[in-house]
Structure 1
Amino acid sequence: MRIIEHVKEILRKHVKVWTILISILLILVSYFIIINLNHNHLSFTHLMYIPIVISGSLLGSLYGLGIAVIAGLVVGPIMPRDLITGEIQFWGDWFARLLMMALVGAIAGYFGINYRKSSKRIKELELKHIESGLYNTKYLKDMTLSKNQFYTIGTLIIGNAHAICDVQGYETYYAYLRKIVDNLKNIYPNIEVVQPEIDHLWFIKISDHFDEEIKTILHIIQSSKKIGNDTLFIDYALGFTQRKHLFEKEVSKYFIQSDIAAREAKGKNLPYLTYKDVKTNRQFEYELLTDFEQALHDGEIYLVYQPKIDLKTKRPVGLEALIRWEHPIKKSIAPDQFIYAVEKTNMIHEMTQKVFEWSLMYQTRLKEHKINIPISINISTKNLYDVYFFDKVIEIFKRF
């Protein structure tokens, strides 16, 4: 398969040379056919028009004329004046035949050029979004990457794309996307940008300085928000990765990692993340979750109670239960680190139930000391999607 691809690449790069060589070869073949046939088969002399039409159609009128002149000089003198008698033409007839060949070459070139222009225009329309005018994912199929070259690959997600379209209008939104692309190309002329979805942009370029490129792209996204008299509010997230191009044919697969990083950044309300960051975070989260399940039952997880103060009386009017984790090795782990990870698993339900139990136990002890004060508890939205959540909470309350 690689040999076939290599041959195709050579043919694409040297299409003019191959077309001219094949045309000249056809002229010579026609010449030998003609001189070796008797006059009853001299209609074969019209084979001469084949290389003329081929070269004109593929390379244009100028090449068609050139091949026509060569054909006329080589075969013209031996072409018959009369196919039936085989009478050889005079020089005037030969010159007229030469002009005819040149005309055929020019016409073939004219129609060939117009056909290619129309085909190119149709292909461009197929490769671009009608509304934004930016390339779509079909464009990636024709993209050629350099082997063993490192590429910076990025995904931009605009979280409020539909809101911008509804409020500011689609034209304003697409003008913003085009402005981003123009600004990117002003700094990185060889960058390729594709719009796979209305709220996504993909970009890929040869890596120079990965970290600097991230900073530059971030600046472009932020500085492109002014469209006409409007300054848009853009809720965006970026994901980046760096890949070495080897043998991957589908370039779109290279954006899987940057997509993951962008979605992760969006979920964490961060401006950007690299795929390397995501992998590191996931490993850290996996280790946390592995330890957390056991820690929940080993006393490493506990609650602290933050008082709520009435500003007028300066007296406490309630408590807020806040969860903490004292890891035996990692020591104190910040709540925003492990709660986010736990919320993505079903352990959030068990953790919330434990918070209810511990809070009620603490409140019971307070009541024993004649302290009657409400305790507030934070719950996750994921708890509310659990159809058995309230039944479990009621069951816990019944025990106290």
Structure 2
Amino acid sequence: MSISLQYINQDFATMLNAYDCPAILVTPEYRILASNQRYLEIFGAIDLDQPAYCYKASHHHEIPCDQAGEACPLSAAGISGKKQRVLHIHHSPRGKEHVDIEILPILDDKGEVKFFVELLKSVTLANPKIDGNEMVGASLVFNQLVENITRVGPTEASVLLLGETGTGKEIAASAVHLASNRKTQPMVILECSGLTETLFESELFGHVKGAFTGALYNKHGLVEVANGGTLFLDEIGDVPYELQIKLLRLIETGTYRPVGSRETKRSDFRLICATNQDIFSMVERGEFRRDLYYRINVFPIKIPSLNKRKEDIALLTNAILQRIDDSGKYIVTDSAINLLREHDFVGNIRELRNILSRALVLANTQIIDRNVIKTCLEIDRKIGGHSESETDLKGNELRYLQRLIESVNGDKDKAATLAGISTRSLYRKLQ
């Protein structure tokens, strides 16, 4: 490298240090010219004495990302001449990580792109490897989910999570909360399914002593607890129609009154809702208020079913096993993973967790092989009794829970543990 080019690169590095996140300067030919101090601290040094390319440093590819089947924000920014953003999985000193990439083109006086500034922000709410309690995955649909969460998280927009039972909507809601500016404040959860009108209002708004039979003391509602943080309403589609107007008023004004009180209170919260139902169809049938629908549906996020992200099953299997038993002694064979990939998951990730919980009980050694998984799946079929004609999701869920309770001789606590839900949730689903 010539002395003049070395000095030029030093000037570039000084310019990049103005960014508080890792940043590199890249040519339209993908060559890295300089990096800032934050990049060195997080991703390590790049040897610029030899030609270094962004796709090689970040992905260990030998060709640019778009030629390797991935979205390339640099290529897109070169064509549009405007800022581009995408979520990628990058190699780092800590292994593979999800990274939010933003490309800023630098134009000359003729409007042609001369350089790109690439800003890299690690996404801590998800992980393409097994580590901690983050969301786990590396498939395309999973990365799209993480990208949506990363984009909406720092905003105040209301989020509606849409997905089948067991896909991990509560985990996704937690990820939105952790990506927000309210992450140091509480995220309060209300499961709307199975609540009576009085109980719903009492749980959400609180009540004063004597407001109804059994109200023996004043109670703070979840809205008050969520002040400054996030309110997560799970299964929003199950809120009775007559209560939806009160929920709408809360969202629109931020005000509410505890049951039995004349005092109006105020709460500042970020709203996240989730449902496994087709809310728009409910609106069309007159079962869900249209005005409430548009209030909660500011930024909808579709949570993919496990059947649509089966390439993540190996990662999920190891992550779930570590969370069930942190000894790390259990190993799942490739043939067992392949059998899981062939399985049609009705209950999604929750069903996978149940299967693996059984596997730990049935395995005679630390090796979970294909035969163990096959036995677990056969138990599931015997309990669930699925058939092609049973297309009602709630009916399937109810039948499954009832047979599960029968299999453990009526022990609802044990049945709830096997189903991967709380005992309270089990009682509500049975109602």
With the shorter chain as reference, the TM-score category is: under 0.3
**Which structure has the larger Rg?**
1
TM-score for the superposition, normalised by structure 1 = 0.24
More helix by proportion, 1 or 2? 1
TM-score for the superposition, normalised by structure 2 = 0.23
